[in-house]
Chain A
């Protein structure tokens, strides 16, 4: 076995340069402080020209620190003409091929602009690469960066706990509940480059399409990537709504336009979407039940209502427990409960909002603080166990 190389690839528009710099520096910080890793590393930063233009000095300083900064040429076109993040990812795959890095000994770890890594992330990658029996891996993402306990932040707690469901589904044959990530996943370079990210036009859920393609071409080759990635939630409910809208558009695009999805998988995907869409009418019906009487049917539905409510509440509780070693601010229980309800209502409304609006490339939400104290480091921290 020869020495593998891991490319830490941050693919982003690049207009949140400070979040992106923290992401890059987290890699540089930990590769220098984690002994006995079983790989060489490269750090690629793939950004759009308008992102680079927001702070060229910062990008140049990252280049000096060891990152390979790639600014996607404005006139770059993929073969099928995809746009958005898919175009940037496709550019990186072609760049790997050009540089002779598209082979089984090279792995690509995908990061969003705010994805910080820790020592555990690097160790997890090392273990995954050393085992080498899975071609793609993903793990649990926490959202402790800049966590202040706002409704959108409280809602993110549930996503981390839900990741265990995602991991189980992803490693199972057929991915029954459609689990995958667009960041914090590791793919063998030759596999990723063979699959590619190109598609017809703008694809809002490029990660979902990639997962479907890999499964179709290589089968169930997904594995568990140990170690967390550390990200940040949307700063506001408005951002949260737009972020969720993009996810829904990704699912709808895959269902409506992609002929690459097997029928069985399409059905599962449709059911997952339907479950999400059903949340809003469920709330409406619940409110309406005060005025209308639903009669004996309540006896039947009541059997499962307790289970759904309990599952939702425990998702918040366990999500918080996952985060509590990493967040400094601890709002009161009442505040968390209130913000949890507000954050959940945004998630409830999001699919219908998505249905009523058109996909937008502007749904990539800002990751630098809105008040951006440009030089303030992300406040992340931790509290005693």
Chain B
């Protein structure tokens, strides 16, 4: 490279920097005493100068790429950080004298920089695309919700006007509703009815109190009623039989009357317990407790 003619690089850099305005920022043709008007070639430069020149050319190309992609130019990003490569790696020549790296010539020592810059832009583009996609998805979700809510609102309106609870022709009361009595506004048919809530959920505690959960609970109680009825009687009979047998077999002598009467206190609540037992099972057997699921 030291023997290469730097003119093409210089010309390319100048053209690009002219286009971007960076030329004025510091890139000038060399003004050595060897330069003369009409010289075909600029005077020969040192290796460091050539590298500087090419560096600026690359920078200018990056600026142009930025411009074409519509990404605003940020001066602090003029020189992308150069990737650090391990010594001896395939591109390790970036820090070595290119002329000495290989007898067949070295790859551009700035290829990594270019790739890094391009990769950065590609990443930025990808992020932008993802953001756009997310926004589009959210928008789609909002449209779907809107459509769903409009559908529900229509259903509710039809319900209210159908006379399912009210007159289809509003009465005087309806025409002049109480100023402070808003109508019920449904937004969803249910809360977290699809799954159990937990104490750590972020929603309010009561949002799991749904019709479906209620129906499951009372349905189970009603289904178990016969089992409960039979079990209570069987167990009560068993326990009582054992107690009576023990009391009978003990052959206890008759105690003084005041002592013997004490167990009568156990009999006081018996009618209440019997009434409760009958009442509970009557309620469970004669009343349907379930509610219609949210429509």
> Which residues of A are at the interface with B, using a C-beta cutoff of 8 A?
1-3, 5, 22, 25-26, 29-42, 66, 68, 101, 105, 116-121, 123-124, 126-127, 130, 145, 161-162, 164-165, 167-169, 172, 176-177, 224, 226-228, 230, 271-272, 274-276, 278-279, 281-282, 285-286, 288-289, 292-299, 301-311, 314, 318, 321-322, 325-326, 328-329, 377-385
Contact = CB atoms under 8 A, between A and B. Distances in A.
A274 B210 CA distance: 39
Interface in B231-282: 231-232, 235-244, 246-248, 252-255, 259-277, 279-280, 282
Nearest to B290: A226
Contact of A176 (B167, B240, B275): B275
The residue in B164, B196, B266, B273 that gathers the most chain A C-beta atoms within 10 A of its C-beta is B266
A37 to B, nearest CB: 5
Contacts of B261: 297
Contacts of A286: 266
Contact of A311 (B159, B220, B276): B276
Contact of B166 (A3, A22, A306, A385): A3
B33 interface: no
Interface residues of B, number: 99
A307 B292 contact: no
Contact of A33 (B190, B217, B295): B190
B204 A29 contact: yes
Contact of B228 (A5, A172, A318): A318
Contacts of A35: 152, 155-156, 159, 186, 189, 294-295
B interface majority secondary structure: helix
Contact of A301 (B182, B206, B255, B264): B264
A227 B272 contact: no
Given A169-B279, A297-B260, A228 B214 contact: yes
Contact of B292 (A2, A118, A123, A382): A123
Contacts of A314: 228, 231-232
B3 interface: no
B104 interface: no
Interface of B: 152, 155-156, 159, 164-167, 170-171, 173-174, 177-178, 180-191, 193, 196-199, 201, 204-211, 213-217, 220-221, 224, 228, 231-232, 235-244, 246-248, 252-255, 259-277, 279-280, 282-284, 287, 289-292, 294-295
A188 B291 CA distance: 21
Contact of B209 (A120, A281, A302): A120
22 contacts: A29-B191, A38-B165, A40-B178, A123-B291, A164-B280, A165-B275, A168-B283, A275-B268, A282-B265, A282-B268, A282-B269, A294-B260, A294-B263, A297-B260, A301-B267, A303-B240, A303-B244, A307-B273, A314-B228, A318-B221, A325-B196, A325-B217
Given A35-B152, A285-B266, A298 B198 contact: no
Contact of A310 (B198, B239, B294): B239
Contacts of B196: 325, 381-385
A178 B215 CA distance: 27
Nearest to B178: A5
B181 to A, nearest CB: 5
B166 A305 contact: no
Given A41-B181, A382-B197, A292 B259 contact: yes
Contact of A127 (B209, B236, B279, B291): B291
Contacts of B289: 224, 226
A190 to B, nearest CB: 14
Contact of A34 (B167, B186, B239): B186
B209 A116 contact: yes
Contacts of A293: 252-253, 255
A88 to B, nearest CB: 20
Contacts of A299: 244, 247-248
A239 B23 CA distance: 85
Nearest to A294: B263
Contacts of B204: 22, 25-26, 29, 377
A292 B260 CA distance: 9
A302 B166 CA distance: 59
Contacts of B268: 274-275, 278, 282
A41 B173 CA distance: 15
Given A35-B159, A382-B198, 13 more contacts: A36-B295, A120-B214, A120-B291, A164-B279, A224-B287, A230-B206, A271-B271, A272-B272, A275-B272, A306-B238, A310-B236, A311-B273, A318-B228
A272 to B, nearest CB: 7
A124 B31 CA distance: 95
